[in-house]
Structure formats: structure tokens, C-alpha cells
Structure 1
Amino acid sequence: MSEEFYKVAEVSELIQGKLYPIEVDGEPICLVKLEDGIYAFTDNCTHISGPLNQGEFDGCAITCPWHLARFDVRSGKVLRGPARQDLYTYTVKVDGDSVFIGLPPLDE
């Protein structure tokens, strides 16, 4: 089975470097537009679920406001602990001005 895509935004509405917390089919997701594209990642820190959209964002790294774990939003990779698990990142597709996020099938 393939991902199911949901329209979440318009490219023209997104400001570069601004975090956009959204919910897609019950999943808390954070969206951000960078120079090289639009990225989507889980909005919960993998340490103890801190709200990443409330953290400090710099360049391509998000810092959790609770315990300062740091992640690369493009790949989800942990840049600094205490988190040990990478963030889940979502497939983003742009069609015209519409931004879509792909969610994995439920039976995976």
C-alpha cells in the first residue's frame, strides 16, 4: 500500500523559517518552508513528547523547548540529546500552490 496524501497548506501562505503546527488525520505534524523545500516532521519530541513547534528554530534545526534536544528537520536526525531516536519525517509534495503530506498506511 502507498501513502495517502492530505492537502495541508498553500505554498503562498508559508513564510520561510516559520513553524506551522498542523494535525493530519489525528497526527501532530510540524511544517516548515526552507530555501531548499518544504519539510514535515512529527511535532512531538522523541525524548518525552515536547511540543517542537514551541521550540527554537534556527537554519534547519529545531530545539525542543523542554529538554533542549535538537533535530535536523530535513532528515529528522538527532543533533543533540537527550533524545536518542530520530524524528519521523513525512513525504511532502507540492502541486501548483498546494502542499500535501503523505501519511503511511495504517497497517504498517
Structure 2
Amino acid sequence: MEFFLPFAKDREEAMSVLAATAQFIGNPVPAPNEMIYTVHYVHNGAQMVATVGEDVDPYYKEAKPTVIAIFPPYYNGAPIKVCLADRGVARGEPIYVNGDSQFITFQKG
């Protein structure tokens, strides 16, 4: 899968939103091919999957559930950060996922 951000009209807007989101959540801006496309993790004993462009698990009860971006851990032991509109992009804290979880990054495009 080639890198994209949902709702961005073009790559320029996607990169701008990526940079603003990275700054908001306190992460460096990774290269697009280092961004995570999908992550499989366990939360409170339940298997969950978060994928860019798809809705997060209903467990989270989000009004705007679409996953906008998933940031890789920026240092050893740091969490993966799953960002939704109201959790890490426009406001609020992202969903924190254990950095040891299984994930797939975007491909070089």
C-alpha cells in the first residue's frame, strides 16, 4: 500500500497534516514509508486492529472513528500512536499501542 492520509486532497496536504500531527503528538516526522499502515495489538485482553483509512475498534466509542495516521515508535520502548481526528490530530491524545505489536508499514512509492 502506498502512503496516504484519509481525507487529504493530495500528497501535499497529506504531508502538511502529517507534519502538524507529528508536532502535536510530540513525534518527529517520519518518512512516509516508515509510517504504519496497519497494526495488530491486544488491549485489555482483546485482539484489535487499526488500519489507516478504516474505523478504529468500536470499543473506543469515537464520534469520528477513522484512523488518520499511525506513527511508529520514535525510540526503543516508545508506543505506537494511532491518531484519529479527535485523538491526536485536531485535539486529544492518540491511542497508545505497545511498540512490540505487529505492524505493516506503507511501501515505498
- Please say whether Structure 1 and Structure 2 have the same fold, judged by a TM-score greater than 0.5: no
Higher helix fraction (1 or 2): 2
Higher strand fraction (1 or 2): 1
Query: What TM-score results when the alignment is normalised by the length of structure 2?
Result: 0.30
Query: What TM-score results when the alignment is normalised by the length of structure 1?
Result: 0.30
Asked which structure has the greater CA Rg, the reply is 1
